[in-house]
Amino acid sequence: MNIQDTINTLRKELNDHNYRYYVLDDPIISDAEYDHLLRELQALEKEHPEYIAADSPTQRVGAQPLEAFGTIEHRIPMMSLANAMSTDEILAFHDQIMRRLDDTRQIEYVVEPKLDGLAVELVYENGQFVNGSTRGDGITGEHITQNLKTIRGIPLSLRTESLPAPKLLEVRGEVFIRKNDFEKLNNQREAAGEPVFANPRNAAAGSLRQLDSSITATRPLSIFCYQAGALEGVRFTSHIEFLSTLKDWGLPVNPEIKKVNNIEEAISTHNELETRRNSLPYEIDGSVIKVNDYALQEELGVRSRSPRWAIAGKFKAQQETTLIKDIVLSVGRTGAVTPVAKLKPVHVGGVIVSNVTLHNQDEINRKDIRIDDTVLIQRAGDVIPQVVKVITEKRPLNSRPFQMTNECPECGHEVHTPEGEVVARCQNLSCPAQVKRRIEHFVSKNAMDIDGMGEKLIDQLVEKKLVHSFDDLYRLTADQLAELDRMAEKSADNVIHAIEKSKQTTFRRFVHALGIRNVGEHGAKVLEKSFNGDMSKFMAANIEGLEAIDEVGPIVADTIVNFWSDENNVTIVNNCFGMGVSLEKTINAGEQIFTDKIFVFTGALESITRNEAKEIVESFGGRAAGSVSSKTDYVVAGPVAGSKLKKAGELGITILSEKEFLDMLK
């Protein structure tokens, strides 16, 4: 093959890959492979400049920067679109069409997503891209040919496999940036210390308006075509036929565009697009509904600025501005204290928004949100409303930065934000906002394990003010319980019995039950070992002492010290001990008779529960596993043991009865 043929083949290959990528959305090579082919072509053209052609994929960049854009007058004005703000207005649009046509046939429509980008016009003469322009005011626009050439989705020459190129094709479309491309672009800019774009539309507009097309070439611009301007040498009978021909010519057309049979289907397609809006890869702000039949379009004609045969169905706004009347604190069940802005109520994305969370003080500082500020609120789909930004131009003169107070809005105790965290928390054990959750945790299986204390019972105890914090549990009487809903005398006795039984516990269970932030079940075990089960030492520990413990970091240490700095917490814990809670002495290191031994329990156990058996093993330094393997040291088998026992036999593992196991502890 001679050089010229090689160059032509490479060009065709590159153009075909572009077509597959941008029009068919079905690429068969990676971006890197594409770049490789492009560089190969560049090298050949450099050696043989005589073979460079205007429509070569290498010619998308390289023009000199312009002094200014030239202007052009559009051969056919680029009209604007009338808006429909509701289903009723879409129906009114249809009714008007029906009246004008005095025709009773069904009218087909084409429904297109309304891209939020910039309208442009591309001109192809005999299949070659000759120039392109912005919409401008619809009558005159600016020549941005060089910039448009950098957009890889725009073919430099039309494909002519299925039909020849017309003498003249003016095609209109929207240039836009996809959401993920936008995010990448802004990340790059942030990393390079450049200002970020507010939204994809601004980024697309700024990129198209560059006088230096080599800058435009670095921006991830996309295009979808949707309308004909002047045409010569080709005729279409319907809009959908036109769009499908555009694809054949290699021009990108939005695959979401749909032809429907009547206005009802158009409305349901519009509604469906609205629900899918946030999951589409680009931003849209509505749909455009167009009469499909070109003869009918002709008959309907145009008003001064917009055609009668098309309408933009607007989606509900997802952003609105409103006023922050106040900022209040609210405390959740976990003690997190959150600032909440009280808004002048406003319709956003189909609902009325009157409160919006500001998350934490850091977020307030970052956005500099103040009382009496006018703010831009956003609610996208199911997403919770958020403040996008403050409109600082509308800020009153006397305004001051907002600072959260240190007091829990519910109980007045001091809230605390651990070093390195952003969320302030109330750690008061009797904070009313948290008490139900705290009690639920306190009585749970792996904490104090109080049987029969369900959520419903806890709700009643708290609502009837019998329990304000968990020391109150040990003050309850059977008579008090028996008066509650759905509490027979027997079950009241059972609960009292379970409460009584829970008093015999361990350091690790009790500390876990306290629900100190960042100290879970494992943390409690670590502390138990380190304080040798001595609660008073733990309560008096300082930051340095705590941080010296392996597995205790600065945040946990800080949280613990803050927890015990609340007198009320100390009192509640001491009350528990005063009413008979007692912690079993933990086993000393010397008695770790099961160090690194792995136990498996199978079948029914009689005098202890599975969980107790597990605790025993762990307290002597061993581990309890769920299944038998070659690593298992002992299998403890109860009466109806099954496959695990069989497997243990096969592997030759020591098998113990429950009694033999308990005897080992003596």
Q: Is 121 in the site for ligand D41 (CB under 6 A)?
A: no
Q: Is 288 in the site for ligand D41 (CB under 6 A)?
A: yes
The stretch near ligand D41 (CB under 6 A) out of 29-37, 67-75, 108-116, 569-577 is: 108-116
Smallest gap from residue 183 Cβ to ligand D41 (A): 21
- Residue 394 annotated to the active site: no
The stretch near ligand D41 (CB under 6 A) out of 5-13, 109-117, 357-365, 421-429 is: 109-117
Of 12, 46, 114, 445, which residue is the catalytic one? 114
Q: For ligand D41, which residue of 114, 270, 359, 517 counts as binding (CB under 6 A)?
A: 114
In the bound state with ligand D41, the residue whose beta carbon lies nearer, of 174 and 658, is: 174
Q: Is 289 in the site for ligand D41 (CB under 6 A)?
A: no
8 Å CB contact between 54 and 130: no
In the bound state with ligand D41, the residue whose beta carbon lies nearer, of 93 and 563, is: 93
Q: Which long-range contacts (CB under 8 A, 24 or more apart) does 179-188 make?
A: 179/281, 179/282, 179/283, 180/281, 181/220, 181/222, 182/220, 184/220, 185/219, 185/220
In the bound state with ligand D41, the residue whose beta carbon lies nearer, of 228 and 557, is: 228
The stretch near ligand D41 (CB under 6 A) out of 78-86, 245-253, 315-323, 504-512 is: 78-86
- Residue 226 tokens read as 């949707």
Q: Is 228 helix (H, G, I), strand (E, B) or coil?
A: strand
Q: Is 174 in the site for ligand D41 (CB under 6 A)?
A: yes
Tell me the site size for ligand D41, rule CB under 6 A. Answer: 15
Beta bridge partners of 599: 624, 634
- Residue 531 tokens read as 């304080």
Q: Which long-range contacts (CB under 8 A, 24 or more apart) does 158-165 make?
A: 158/124, 158/127, 158/128, 158/249, 158/250, 158/251, 159/15, 159/19, 159/248, 159/249, 159/250, 160/127, 160/249, 161/248, 162/248, 163/245, 163/248, 163/249, 164/127, 165/124, 165/126, 165/127, 165/249
Q: Is 115 in the site for ligand D41 (CB under 6 A)?
A: yes
Q: Is 280 in the site for ligand D41 (CB under 6 A)?
A: no
φ, ψ for residue 602, nearest 5 deg: -140, 155
In the bound state with ligand D41, the residue whose beta carbon lies nearer, of 78 and 433, is: 78
Radius of gyration of the CA atoms of the chain, in A: 37
- Residue 654 tokens read as 């020591």
Rounded to whole angstroms, the Cα distance separating 325 from 492 reads 49
Q: For ligand D41, which residue of 63, 81, 323, 549 counts as binding (CB under 6 A)?
A: 81
Q: Is 307 in the site for ligand D41 (CB under 6 A)?
A: yes
> Going by DSSP bridges, is the β-strand pair 71-73/623-625 parallel, antiparallel, or unpaired?
unpaired
In the bound state with ligand D41, the residue whose beta carbon lies nearer, of 115 and 648, is: 115
8 Å CB contact between 222 and 176: yes
- Residue 359 tokens read as 């998350």
- Residue 344 tokens read as 């002048």
In the bound state with ligand D41, the residue whose beta carbon lies nearer, of 79 and 579, is: 79
Smallest gap from residue 281 Cβ to ligand D41 (A): 14
- Which residues in 308-367 contact ligand D41 (CB under 6 A)? 310
Q: Is 79 in the site for ligand D41 (CB under 6 A)?
A: yes
Return the beta strands (E) in 207-309 as ranges.
222-232, 258-260, 284-291
In the bound state with ligand D41, the residue whose beta carbon lies nearer, of 312 and 526, is: 312
State the catalytic residues. Answer: 114
Binding site for ligand D41 (CB under 6 A): 79-81, 112, 114-115, 119, 135, 174, 226-227, 288, 290, 307, 310
